[in-house]
Structure 1
C-alpha cells in the first residue's frame, strides 16, 4: 500500500521506513508492517516493519560485535562522532520537527523546541566522553596503592516513549555513546520515523555499523519484542521511559539476570502556589508546563494546589490565559494546542473528568469530552477515521484528594485546582502519591522555599521554576517514579559504566 506524505522536506532522505541493523535498512522476518498515524487527522501516512522476537538476535549480535571495537575507541574519537551527529541533526532540525509533529501531534513550534532541547544532550555528552576518570589512592595497608578504572558495561537496549521521542533517544544514546556502549532502540509504535531519521544521521556522522540499531514494532508486538531484547544474554544494560506499570515489568525482567537498568517512569507532579507568590510568574511557568504537548509530559503540572487567599484570583487568571490557546493540527500555523497522541489518552481523560464532576468538582472551562468525531475513538490505539484525537483544554475547580485526578497521572489537556490553607496541609497532599518525579513550589518566603526543597518527595524540585530539565542537571525520580538518572554531570554516563578496583602491592623501600 502506498501512502501520501502530508508535508515536504528539504532533505527527503531523512524519511526511512525500515528498521536499521548493522548499517543496513531491513524488513521484519515476518514481512509484516504496521501503520504510522497522524494524531491530528487520524490518517495513516507511513508504515514500518512489525518486528517480533525472532528479529532480536540479529540486532543484538550486531550491537555486541560493534561494542568490541567501539568500547575501546579513544574517548576523543567518540566525542567527535557525537559532535558530528549533533551537527547533522542541527542542519536537519526543521525537517525532523515536521516528522515529529505528524507522529506526535504536537504543534510545530513545540516540535522545534524539542529539537533544541534534545541537541543539548548531544552537545553535553560529547564533552562527557572525555571527562570519564578513575581514581588512585593510598590505602591503610602498607606498601599498597588502590585505583579505580571505569569501563563501558556493554550493549544496551533503550525502550523509548512517544511523547518526547527525539529527546529520549538522544538523552539515552548520548550517554551510552559517551561511555563507549552500543545501543539498540525500540521506539514507540506511534513514533518510529523520528528515531529512524536519527539512525540515518548517525550513520552519516560516521558511527560504525551496529553502534546504533533500531527495531520498530507495532503496539501488539511491543511486549514480546521488548521482552526478547531485555532477556538477550548479550544485553548488559536496559533503559526505559514510560509508565510505572510497565516499568515494574521491565525491572522484573532485568532482575532475572541481574541486569543493570534505569527507569524513568510516571509522574503525578504537584504545582503549589502560596499566597505570597508572584502570580504572574507562577502563571507563565504553569502555562508553559501544563499545556505543552496537550498535557502529555511526565513532569507536567498534574495537581495544581493554590492557597486560599489567591485561589479565586489565580483560577480566573488560568482560565483567561487558557482561553487564548488555539487548538488545531500541529502543522497548522498558529496552533498552540494540538491533539493527544493516542485515542487511549482521550478515554482516560474523559473518565478522570467525569469522576471529578461526579464527586463535586466544577467545570469552569471546556467540556472534559473528546471533540466531535474524536470522541468515537475506542481506545484500541488504531486509527478510527474520525478526524484526530482532540480535547479542548478543560479546567476544574473544587478538587479533592479522593478524586482520580489526584491519584492518577493525567496525560491530557485537563487541569484540576485544589484549594489549601496551610503549608503543612499542602505538603501532605503533595506527597500523598506513590510517585515522586517532580514537584513545583512558588513563594517569596525564602525559609518556606528551603522547607519545600527538603520536604517535598520528588527527585526534582522546581522553586519558583516550572520545567527545569536540562542536559547539565540529573533527571530522574524517587518512589515509583523510577530509579537511576539521565543527563547531568557524571551521573548519566555512570549508568553505562562498570567500575573495577585494582590493588597493587609495592616491593622494596622508598
Structure 2
C-alpha cells in the first residue's frame, strides 16, 4: 500500500519536498517503517504561512454559502475514501480499524456541521444609549490560522479545527503530529480534490527533532493571527508563553485527568460498560479517558469483579488491522516505557494488581486493573494514556467531589448515579469543562468540547467552535 501514500508536504496547492530531508513513520504494531515523509524546516513553514496569507485575500471574501459548498465537498470526499483513510490511520496510529472507520465519519460530521453553522455567524443590533448613534456587530475571520494536531485522532482533530477555521473565513497551516502525518497528507489531497483554492489549506509535517523549531515559527509569526493546539498540558503551556508577543487568538485543548465516579444508586452494569467505553477506547490513549475511577466502598468489590470479567470477555489485543481486535499497541516506545514505569511505581507503593500489568512484546501492554490506589501515587496525578484502570474507594459524595477536583487538569469528568438531586449537585461541583452523566461518550460536532484549569482555553465544535477563528467587530453609526 505504501506506493499509494502521500509523503510530501502540501504548500500552496503543490506537493513539495521538505528542506530537512525525510523522516520515518513507524507502524506501532510492528515497529517497522511504513514510509518516509518530508521533514519541513523553517523555510517551508514560512512559505506555507505566506501562501495562506495570500490565499486569505480571496477566501475571506467568499460568502458563507460559497465556503459551505467547499466544506460539503470535503465531507463527501472523506466518506468516499473512508476505508483507505481508516487503513492508513490504523497503520500509523495502531488503533483498531473499526475505531478508525468511526473516526473518519466523525471527521466528516464536522465539515457538514460547520458548512451550515458558518451561515449563522450572526451579528447583533445593540440599543443605543443616545439618539445620535446606532450600533451593530459583525463577525470577521481572524486571519491565517496555525493548527497543531495530535497523534491519537489523526483525522478527527484535523477536521474539528480545519472545518471551523474554513467556515469562519480563515486559511490554514496545519502541522500534524510527527507520529501520524500520513492521514493529514491524505486530508490535504482530499482538499485538493474538493477544489479548495491553493494556499487555503497547507500541511507541513516534520520530525520530532524539528517540532520546537516549527512550533516556534508558528507562534512567533505576526502573519499567523490564530493558533489552535491539541496536545499535552506541558506543550500547551509552552505555546501559550510563545504566542504572547504576537497576541494572537489562542485555543488550547490540553491534557485531561478525568474522574469517573460510581455512586451507590448507579446501575452497576451500565457503569461497568461506561467505564469500558471510556477507559479502553483507542487503548486508553485519549485525553477524555477515565483516568481515575472512584467507586463507593459499598459497591467497590462487586464493581471490580464485573469490570474485570467484562475486560476478559470483551478486550482483545493485537494489530488494529486484525478482525476483532479492540486494543492496539501504545503509540511509541517513549509512551510505552512511561506506562510501564507508572504501573511498576504504583505496585511498589502498595497498589494491588488485579489483572494485566505486563508487556508481552513490542509496544503492547495488557489491559490492567489496579486497586488500593491512593491519591498520592504518581499514577493518580499523571495522565496515564494507556489501558490501565486505577480504582480508588470513597465513602461520601463530598469526598468523591474533593478527590475528583484535586487535579489541576479539568477536561472531562464522568459519574453514574440515579439520584436526581445528587446528579445536579455533582454535575455542578465537578471542575471540568464536560460532564458525562450516566454516559461515557461526550464528544460530537454539535456540542462544545473543551476544558478548564490546565486543560486549556476555548471550545471546539458546536456554534462556539467558530469563536476562536473570528473577531467580533463593532460598527458605530452617527445618524
**Cα offsets for 1:387-406 (capped at 9, x unmatched):** xx100111111111101111
CA distance in 2, matches of 1:119, 1:150: 25
Q: For the residues of structure 2 that align with 1:223 and 1:116, how far apart are their CA atoms? A: 32
1:132–1:150 contact (8 Å) kept in structure 2: yes
User: In the alignment, is residue 456 of structure 1 matched against residue 430 of structure 2?
Assistant: yes
Instruction: Provide Cα deviations, 1:473-496, integer angstroms capped at 9, x if missing partner.
Output: 10000000001110012x110111
Partners of 2:461 and 2:320 lie apart in 1 by 28
Q: Deviations over 1:309-351 (max 9, x none)?
A: 1100000111111112110011111111110111111111111
Partner Cα distance (1:129, 1:429) in 2: 40
Structure 1 position 353 matched with structure 2 position 326: no
2:440 is the counterpart of 1:466: yes
Which SS does the other structure have where 1:302 is aligned? strand
Residues of 2 paired with 1:251 and 1:481: CA distance?
A: 12
CA deviations over 1:168-217 (Å, ceiling 9, x no partner): 10000000000000001000111111001011011111110000000010
What is the aligned partner in structure 1 of residue 45 from structure 2? Answer: 56
Q: Which residue of 1 aligns with 2:270?
A: 281
For the residues of structure 1 that align with 2:319 and 2:127, how far apart are their CA atoms? 63
Quick one: which of 387, 390, 411 aligns to 2:364?
390
More off after superposition, 99-108 vs 494-503? 494-503
- In the aligned structure 2, how far is the partner of 1:193 from the partner of 1:391? 25
Is 1:116 equivalent to 2:105 in the alignment? yes
Tell me the CA shift for residue 54 of structure 1: 2.3
1:90-489 alignment, distance < 5 Å: 90-324=79-313, 325-367=315-357, 369-372=358-361, 374=362, 389-489=363-463
CA distance in 1, matches of 2:43, 2:124: 43
Alignment of 1:485-500 (within 5 A): 485-489=459-463, 491-500=464-473
CA deviation after TM superposition for structure 1 residue 357, in Å: 0.9
Contact kept, 8 Å, 1:477 with 1:483, in 2: the verdict is: yes
Q: CA deviation at 1:254?
A: 0.8
CA deviation profile, 1:14-43 (whole Å, cap 9, x unmatched): x2110000110000124x100010000000
1:165 deviation in Å? Answer: 1.2
Q: Is 1:44 matched up with 2:36?
A: no
Cα deviation, 1:51-101, whole Å, max 9, x if unaligned, reads 111221111000000000001111111000000010010111111000000
Per-residue deviation, 1:226: 1.1
Q: CA RMSD in A?
A: 1.0
SS at match of 2:308: helix
With the length of structure 2 as denominator, give the TM-score of the two structures: 0.98
How many Å separate the matches in 1 of 2:220 and 2:186?
A: 27
User: Would you say the 8 A contact 2:87–2:97 is kept in 1?
Assistant: yes
How far apart, in 2, do the equivalents of 1:91 and 1:257 lie? 40
Q: What is the aligned residue count?
A: 478
Q: CA deviation at 1:137?
A: 2.6
Instruction: Give how far 1:284 is off.
Output: 1.4
Structure 2 residue 468 is matched with structure 1 residue 502: no
Q: Distance in 2 between matches of 1:322 and 1:16?
A: 38
CA distance in 2 between counterparts of 1:316 and 1:450 reads 29
**Retained in 2: the 8 A contact 1:264–1:483?**
yes
Measure, in 2, the Cα distance between the counterparts of 1:361 and 1:29. Answer: 49
Give the stretch that moved more between structures: 347-356 or 291-300. Answer: 347-356
- SS at the partner of 1:303? strand
Secondary structure at 1:254 match in 2: helix
Equivalent-residue separation in structure 2 for 1:23 and 1:116 (angstroms): 25
Q: TM-score, normalised on structure 1?
A: 0.92
Contact 1:138 1:144 in 2 (8 A): no
- CA-CA distance at 1:371 after TM superposition: 2.0
The partner residue of 1:66 within 51, 55, 61 is 55
Point out where structure 1 has 5 or more consecutive residues left out of the alignment. Answer: 6-11, 375-388
